[in-house]
A and B are shown apart, each in its own frame.
Chain A
């Protein structure tokens, strides 16, 4: 893995169209290796096998929301946890404080621009490692 950017990214969202467009944006245009999950529970079950460098996590999902998924993932990765970025339509200061307070390295606002998503991911990764 290059330390300059995340090679493997897991995208978690309950909307299959968002997963499809994120795959095109990150895999075809960004050159990353992508795994998609349609729920927090599925992400928890598959995270060890995929071993992502970064997880893009929808904040609002039924049953297990982004914050709950994040906490469950963090409990499984005491060290060497993947960097988590929230996908959210809530980007007020309080919301961002809440997400970063959980330990997220960044936030991608929904709706996102598929053409610039890979660049956003790289920027967040670079800032987190600085």
Chain B
């Protein structure tokens, strides 16, 4: 901290906008301010705010994309399961459904859709046993498979971007708390 000649202070203030200029004015009254730090801080803050805005948009796009992808994945899983139910499915059909379910389980929870992730993980575990045994579910197992999928689909249909807490996250707030 050091005292500045008034003329020099005025020049500096012209380079500041609203909030920072107000801070500068308050400091003039006190005649003490570290302008180097103030300007550097202002620049960094602006840069960080812009970065957070960009990343916030990116985050929302990711959540929106997740919802769109989820709808496609659920349709594809349903198609694979129908083939198995109709007796047309092979081991690869189950593997395709399993891979899609694994993707949903991994991503949806991270994107803020916890119920979807839990239902997907249960379906994945159920299918994994058959995949490991290289068999296809039949009878009651097939009905259970369908039931677990319908649970997943039900949660998936509720998964809108606005339903994700991540969609409303204030990145700046979290970033300011890092350390």
Considering only residues 83-130 of chain A, those with a C-beta below 8 Å from chain B are: 89, 110-115, 118
Q: Which of A21, A29, A112, A118 contacts B62 (CB 8 A)?
A: A21
Contact of B93 with A by CB under 8 A = no
Contact of B175 with A by CB under 8 A = yes
A30 / chain B contacts, CB cutoff of 8 Å: 178
Q: Are B52 and A28 in contact (CB under 8 A)?
A: yes
Q: Are B110 and A60 in contact (CB under 8 A)?
A: no
For the complex, what is the distance from the CA of A24 to the CA of B54, rounded to whole Å?
A: 10
Q: Are A29 and B171 in contact (CB under 8 A)?
A: yes
Chain A: number of interface residues, binned into ranges: 10 to 19
Q: Are A17 and B52 in contact (CB under 8 A)?
A: no
- Which single residue of chain B is at the shortest CB-CB distance from A110? B106
What is the size, in residues, of chain B's interface with A at 8 Å between Cβ atoms?
Answer: 28
For the complex, what is the distance from the CA of A114 to the CA of B170, rounded to whole Å?
A: 12
Q: Of A28, A111, A112, A113, which is in contact with the most chain B CB atoms at under 10 Å from its CB? A: A111
For the complex, what is the distance from the CA of A31 to the CA of B51, rounded to whole Å?
A: 12
Q: Are A111 and B178 in contact (CB under 8 A)?
A: no
Considering only residues 1-36 of chain A, those with a C-beta below 8 Å from chain B are: 15, 17-18, 20-21, 24, 28-31
Q: Which of A89, A111, A115 contacts B174 (CB 8 A)?
A: A115
Contact of B119 with A by CB under 8 A = no
Binding site for A on B (CB under 8 A): 51-52, 55, 58-59, 62, 65-66, 69, 102-103, 105-111, 114, 117, 121, 124, 166, 169, 171, 174-175, 178
